[in-house]
Structure 1
Amino acid sequence: MSGFSPDFAGAEVRVSPNFTQRRGTDRPDMVILHYTGMPTGAEAEAWLCDPASEVSSHYLVHEDGRVVQMVRESDRAWHAGKSSWRGITDVNSWSVGIEIVNPGHTLGYTAFPKCQIEAVIALCGNIIVRHGIVPERILAHSDVAPGRKVDPGEKFPWRALARGGVGHFVEPAHVKNGPVLRPGDNGAEVEKLQSMLSLYGYGVEITGSFDRETEIVVAAFQRHFRPRKVDGVADPSTIETLRRLLLALRHKPA
């Protein structure tokens, strides 16, 4: 017995008991992308449907492109944990969670197969259209939980998603030598960096001091938008890429 009809026509259904009602909204306005970080897709699927795990996601995308839905989009899956974006701290209530099968950083992080990414693009595109989700709210788990989570990681092909009409993307600025902002720095330039990160959506306090929290958020930003070098140091490439993203938002068609 399937339990419900899938929201995405191409999905199989395997019901997870790990869900509640959404709080404060009846529909999502974000999509959060994860990797499973487990040895196999079968183990991940079983874990997401195990009451003892107390975790779930709306969808799981296997390496061969097969999509499994475990929680209805109208319900609140338990995928984001402690997280925030643009002041929203109950990200689970405002998002659709998609787990993408990949062993992750601790188990031999691998490239994502082309057929898997094509399935992710099709799934996200369908969700975006049905819920009217804007590109800049297609996010990584690491964006909403910097430091605590690093998935789907620097190997995830955000450029390919953007070419498929999914997500907010600008070409990263080239890495080159120049002045940097790093832990221990203080002043107006640090405050400006923190303000830009906060304006984009990251949960960073604007203090003018490049503290550990700022370093973690910079690394999360790099992992998504400038993955060539993820070190938590705000070099010219990182800052310029962030400026390009904010400029693209301001010039977005109505």
Structure 2
Amino acid sequence: MSFPVCDFPKARFVASPNHNERLNVSGPDMIILHYTGMPTAAGALDWLCREESQVSSHYFVHEDGRVDQLVAEDRRAWHAGKSIWKNETDINSRSIGIEIVNPGHPGGLPDYPDVQIAAVVELCQFCVERWSIPPERVLAHSDIAPIRKVDPGENFPWKNLYEKGVGHWVAPAPVGGGRYFQRGDTGQPVEAIQSMLSLYGYGLEVTGEFCERTHGVVEAFQRHFRPERIDGIADISTLDTLHRLLGTLPAFAR
């Protein structure tokens, strides 16, 4: 009996039936990070490999750093759900999905073990090099599905990944006073905030109204890039961090 060869050499293949062909792309250009959000690793892995679940991921990273591959990288795993980034809505076709064992918010959002993060870093480095994935397209599930999803959560160490060459990051501006914008506000400043978030990639219409969707997108941004306070309020700290992130993107850097 022959077994599939893993794309990532250190992985063990644990086949999930939940995948299909990638649509209208030559290969993935994004990595989406998730937490499992279930009480046990065994339960989460079993669910991802059950046909009736209709969900899967390419990789599954255990707390002790072991990596399982569930779906071949050239196939479309079903992990992103209803999502959007840079006006693209079929994120499953464009991405590699990585599930990281952690009970998540339902389980108190415990810290990710160092050995697990080291394995995530190595796996992401491999995928980034293999597929030439830009740093700013290594994203959280919560980035592509604000409000609906909050994983991998505010405890996920994005800075650590960035220091190892994975993902996009700037030091978040300190939380302090100053002017801020929140749900119910309207006008040109709100349009500017929405425009900056949209330019970065978030799925947000520029309306000039600080609506529920805008609040949720700001929360998602804070959860990834300014996790000290996640309140959906566009304060000076949030806006400064966003502005500096935009300024380091190739399209905006001078």
Matched, 1:164 2:164: yes
Partner Cα separation in structure 1 for residue 126 and residue 214 of structure 2: 35
Partner Cα separation in structure 2 for residue 153 and residue 93 of structure 1: 23
Secondary structure class of the residue paired with 1:153: coil
**TM superposition shift of 1:106:** 1.0
Partner Cα separation in structure 2 for residue 2 and residue 34 of structure 1: 30
Does the 8 Å CA contact 1:3/1:15 hold for their aligned counterparts? no
Which residue of the partner structure matches residue 5 of structure 1? 5
Amino acid at match of 2:211: D
Partner Cα separation in structure 2 for residue 64 and residue 116 of structure 1: 6
Partner Cα separation in structure 2 for residue 16 and residue 152 of structure 1: 21
Matched, 1:60 2:60: yes
Amino acid at match of 2:122: A
Unaligned 5+ residue runs, structure 1?
none
Secondary structure class of the residue paired with 1:27: coil
1:113-147 residue CA offsets vs partner (Å, 9 max, x unmatched): 00000000000000000100000000000000000
**TM superposition shift of 1:252:** 7.8
**TM superposition shift of 1:107:** 1.9
1:187-238 residue CA offsets vs partner (Å, 9 max, x unmatched): 1110000000000000001001101010000000000000000000001000
Amino acid at match of 1:114: D
Which residue of the partner structure matches residue 154 of structure 2? 154
1:72-97 residue CA offsets vs partner (Å, 9 max, x unmatched): 00000000000010011000000000
Which residue of the partner structure matches residue 70 of structure 1? 70
Moved over 2 A (4+): 250-254
Change in 2 beyond 3 A, CA 1:71/1:180: same
Unaligned 5+ residue runs, structure 2?
none
Partner Cα separation in structure 1 for residue 167 and residue 147 of structure 2: 22
Could you tell me the percent identity over the aligned residues? Answer: 58
Amino acid at match of 2:126: N
Which residue of the partner structure matches residue 189 of structure 1? 189
Does the 8 Å CA contact 2:80/2:141 hold for their aligned counterparts? yes
**TM superposition shift of 1:108:** 2.2
Q: TM-score, normalised by structure 1?
A: 0.98
Q: TM-score, normalised by structure 2?
A: 0.98
Please give the residue correspondences for 1:230-241 in structure 2 after superposition, counting only pairs within 5 Å.
230-241=230-241
Partner Cα separation in structure 1 for residue 133 and residue 95 of structure 2: 10
Which residue of the partner structure matches residue 89 of structure 2? 89
Change in 2 beyond 3 A, CA 1:132/1:105: same
Does the 8 Å CA contact 1:32/1:96 hold for their aligned counterparts? yes
Partner Cα separation in structure 1 for residue 16 and residue 141 of structure 2: 20
**TM superposition shift of 1:253:** 8.1
Which residue of the partner structure matches residue 122 of structure 2? 122
Partner Cα separation in structure 1 for residue 10 and residue 45 of structure 2: 17
